[in-house]
Structure 1
């Protein structure tokens, strides 16, 4: 705990001792070792999907806690291989991506068809695979901001994947098509017995006004709500940094209570609103780790983990902060994130 206080610095008291007075923890379905039996088993997911959810929950250093630590490495497409792997070229080799996830004690590794497929026979039985089935590629000129399918759900199933992941750019001109595509893919994944994880990201240039409302609690919360509607078992979302997106953009419908009663300026309360939109935690919320900023990565990653855990979230999915540094340092960073979820003194706010 002392090291945690040091890493959180001036925010330590506000983050570690905060008590949520907005949405009570008693309203939430919190992560725990029995989360599959307690929550998912009551759903329409078939027994094979429940088994793969249990694989995700049961693996790695956080195994049997109900929390998740996932290594996502799809940035070779989403941000270009050069931009992603030049800081540490060993990760041009897919095997090192999977090795980092295993040595880092992660529950699972999430990556592309190509990355996971090229080493599937060696590793698919050693760590759960999450195959990212759609991507935004940046080689088309001028650049487009669209998520397109890169393969089929059957391919992910054939390589032994435990889950599929997909992104929807909610708010974009292409969102309607993406919703239809991903909903169909998730239905097929569940039918084949795989879990489903949705990257619920916002994309629209009009969402940037006086602040960047792509990371507002109210708009990201609604994206989460759309994600669980198409039966994502787990939601991946950026940590909220502000609020009031609906009011600033002057579109859509909301309620004053969202801002007066259900949230405050405390980042834990903002994140709890995201959890509430995941059916009060029935579908787990994992927050993303964000870009690597160098020496501050460890403190930033630990801060995000504390906020997510105390808000009622299910864990962290952090990539660039781990793989854009030597493997031993990447392992240490992943372990530091996991230590937050293993620390019984870091409780639900």
Structure 2
């Protein structure tokens, strides 16, 4: 298994697989494991049924009882338009095929919209954990606007047998204050009904770009977004893999500390991701990184690279959609299995 991983990593194999993190030692983190629910979540104020839902997520699929998660998310029909998302593979206009892909690939859960999961609930909700995404950017306004709007109610997720709900907050956007309040209330209700909560902690502000550099995925800014996400009791944080650092200092706003850059991070991608984990209460709440858009032939190698970085940083897994569903199902299954193999491979250790 490690040979296949090294081959896909190519000339980055040694840089990523041999790295030792000298910023935040792994002993300072709460790492994923088969006992994560007992060791981490059960010590919090989560209601007992939430612990059952978290265990259902961790205990399903090819990664069952490893403590790691492989989730298939397909909400792009709203977030990026159905045409843009499904034209490369029209089979996925049919919601049942979305769930079938997650099942065939041995994912821990499938995440999608009210309509998609509702169309397949009676046939599949007892076969794989459902995660209902509550809000979306509707993307049909002209001029375009970037706002997350509630499309579903928490009770609808519970009624169809979902084990978890998810939502997005665009931190940094003018609408973020309203979104934080909406999502906090929704997550409280989800916990009352026994469901786990997953927050897409994304940044969105034109001001986060300066001098040709985009800081929407900087380690310091995404780390703070993660910290805000666990503050409203997200059980799991979904975040983009960091690609740079120094958003606070470059943009000259907010508050930070020089030690963030001199002691808690380096330029190494694993160290940047570890800072994201650190902001999830030192790993008490799991970090899953997103797989990113489909880029064609390089998708498999990029997905494996992201999984290696996440795992070695102390993350909890990967949530990858477009790279999998924008290709024939057999190829999508192969890609998702390759991601899962990283978490199953004992030779890929926490740095």
- TM-score, normalized by length of structure 1? 1.00
Aligned partner of 1:83 in structure 2 is: 84
Describe how 1:89-238 pairs up with structure 2 within 5 A: 89-210=90-211, 211-238=213-240
Q: 1:6, 1:345 → 2: CA distance? A: 14
Aligned partner of 1:240 in structure 2 is: 242
Q: 2:176, 2:139 → 1: CA distance? A: 18
Q: 2:260, 2:151 → 1: CA distance? A: 38
Structure 1 residues 268-287: Cα deviation after superposition (integer angstroms, max 9, x where no partner):
00000000000000000000
Aligned partner of 1:36 in structure 2 is: 37
Deviation at 1:10, TM superposition (A): 1.4
Q: Secondary structure of the equivalent of 1:109?
A: strand
Deviation at 1:197, TM superposition (A): 0.1
Poorly superposed stretches of 4+, deviation over 3 Å? none
Q: 1:151, 1:4 → 2: CA distance? A: 39
Aligned partner of 2:349 in structure 1 is: 347
Q: 1:139, 1:113 → 2: CA distance? A: 18
Structure 1, unaligned runs of 5 or more? none
Q: Secondary structure of the equivalent of 1:215?
A: coil
Aligned partner of 1:23 in structure 2 is: 24
Q: Secondary structure of the equivalent of 2:81?
A: helix
Structure 1 residues 171-197: Cα deviation after superposition (integer angstroms, max 9, x where no partner):
000000000000000000000000000
| Residue 264 of structure 2 corresponds to residue 262 of structure 1 | yes
Q: 2:297, 2:269 → 1: CA distance? A: 22
Deviation at 1:338, TM superposition (A): 0.1
Q: 2:60, 2:12 → 1: CA distance? A: 32
Q: 2:250, 2:268 → 1: CA distance? A: 19
The total of aligned residue pairs comes to: 349
Q: 1:94, 1:255 → 2: CA distance? A: 47
Deviation at 1:47, TM superposition (A): 1.0
Deviation at 1:44, TM superposition (A): 0.6
Q: 1:70, 1:2 → 2: CA distance? A: 24
Q: 1:56, 1:209 → 2: CA distance? A: 40
Deviation at 1:235, TM superposition (A): 0.0
| Residue 296 of structure 2 corresponds to residue 331 of structure 1 | no
Structure 2, unaligned runs of 5 or more? none
- TM-score, normalized by length of structure 2? 0.99
Q: 1:303, 1:137 → 2: CA distance? A: 31
Q: 2:112, 2:252 → 1: CA distance? A: 37
